[in-house]
Amino acid sequence: MPITIADVATRAGVSKTTVSRVLNGKGEVHVRTADRVRAVINALGYVPSARAVGLARGRTRVVGMLVPALTWPWMGEVLQGAADVVEAEGYGMLLFTCTHGDESMRRFASQVSAKSFDGLLVVEPEGTLDYITELHERGLPVILIDDRGHQPGFPSVRTTNEAGARAAAAHLLTHGRKRPLVVTGLSRFGCTRERLAGFAAGYADAGLPIDPALVVEGDFTFECGRVAVENLLADGVPFDAVFAHNDLSAAGALQALRDAGRRVPEDVAVVGFDDLPLAGHTHPPLSSVRQPLREMGAVAARTLIAHLGGTPLPATPTVIPTSFTVRASTGAT
């Protein structure tokens, strides 16, 4: 049977409250009594519950993380970055998803009420920003990862979606591509609007405004990229490049082009966004705007844990820039 605090109290001839005070360094305990309790703890090999000690001290040394779902293509990279830092700092992590909608949020709220974690990392589940803001205003430290253009009233870590898309435009223009098909993400997301704006501005600055007929709203899936390309080819609409708002939809575009006998990059160059491991394994390998996803998770976790240690939270968003990875889908060898 595991040794309990009651066993220590009985052997030392004190109350459980006295043992707890010795463990937590709180309250007045006579020096001789404290020494006796510590000697019994050592003799019995008692190991206090980290959670119990943390709660007694007013903290849990646990970080909460709320995300929409684990099926998002880039979520694993963000989670790994955050988990690496949390583990290295000696904290635990409680992970919450919103795959069951309101039921998931009710369960999350119950853990908030129980003060099960000291601070929260968030990749915002759609429709929850007001609630997350309320938690922040009530005193829970919160860091938002990938603000998607919402610019919340609490700290966030984001990347440069607009600049990344401009880099994609510049790369395609360098390769002489004048009629790009743009497969966007969902229009209600700020990152979609930023990527479209950056890419369109890059082409407009070159005197080549994007043809509205070549902008197709997608939903970040393989199918949306495949269907967008198939439909334009069927309608005879000419294009010499594809800029997809994520790597998965770019992979769908590559599949449709291959099925239609179009050569990549000779006939059509293709660029994605995210630069996930997938991008290096498509056929041909995919040029992509690299989101610093793992770094974003790590920086958010490091910022939160530093705050729990007494460092003030930053007053402005932390911005980690995108970069561009060139592969064979745009002509690299």
pLDDT for 77-132, tens place per residue?
A: 999 999 999 999 999 999 999 999 889 999 999 889 888 899 999 999 988 889 99
Average pLDDT value over all residues in the chain? 92
State mean pLDDT over 170-187. Answer: 97
Q: Would the pTM count as exceeding 0.85?
A: no
Q: Is the pLDDT of residue 333 over 80?
A: no
State mean pLDDT over 213-227. Answer: 97
- Does a structural domain hold residue 311? yes
- Does a structural domain hold residue 326? no
Q: How confident is the model at residue 26 (pLDDT cuts 50, 70, 90)?
A: low
pLDDT the model gives residue 154? 87
Q: What is the extent of the structural domain holding 28?
A: 5-57
Check whether residue 46 and residue 16 sit in a common domain.
yes
Check whether residue 213 and residue 249 sit in a common domain.
yes
Any idea which residue has 């700020």 for tokens? 190
- First-to-last alpha carbon distance for the chain, in angstroms, is 65
Q: Is the pLDDT of residue 57 over 60?
A: no
State mean pLDDT over 307-333. Answer: 92
Check whether residue 82 and residue 169 sit in a common domain.
no
Q: How confident is the model at residue 51 (pLDDT cuts 50, 70, 90)?
A: low
Tokens of 203: 């082409």
- Does a structural domain hold residue 243? yes
- Does a structural domain hold residue 172? yes
pLDDT the model gives residue 274? 97
Check whether residue 180 and residue 300 sit in a common domain.
no
Q: How confident is the model at residue 56 (pLDDT cuts 50, 70, 90)?
A: low
Q: Is the pLDDT of residue 1 over 70?
A: no
pLDDT: is 27 or 248 the higher one?
248
For the chain, the domain total comes to: 3
State mean pLDDT over 140-147. Answer: 92
pLDDT: is 162 or 110 the higher one?
162
Check whether residue 219 and residue 302 sit in a common domain.
no
Least confident among 147-161, 194-208, 315-329: 147-161
Read off the CATH number of the domain in which 142 is found: 3.40.50.2300
Q: Is the pLDDT of residue 150 over 80?
A: no
pLDDT the model gives residue 55? 54
pLDDT the model gives residue 50? 53
Check whether residue 111 and residue 39 sit in a common domain.
no
∠ CA 54-59-60, rounded to 5°: 60
Check whether residue 155 and residue 297 sit in a common domain.
yes
State mean pLDDT over 191-203. Answer: 97
Check whether residue 196 and residue 263 sit in a common domain.
yes
pLDDT the model gives residue 315? 87
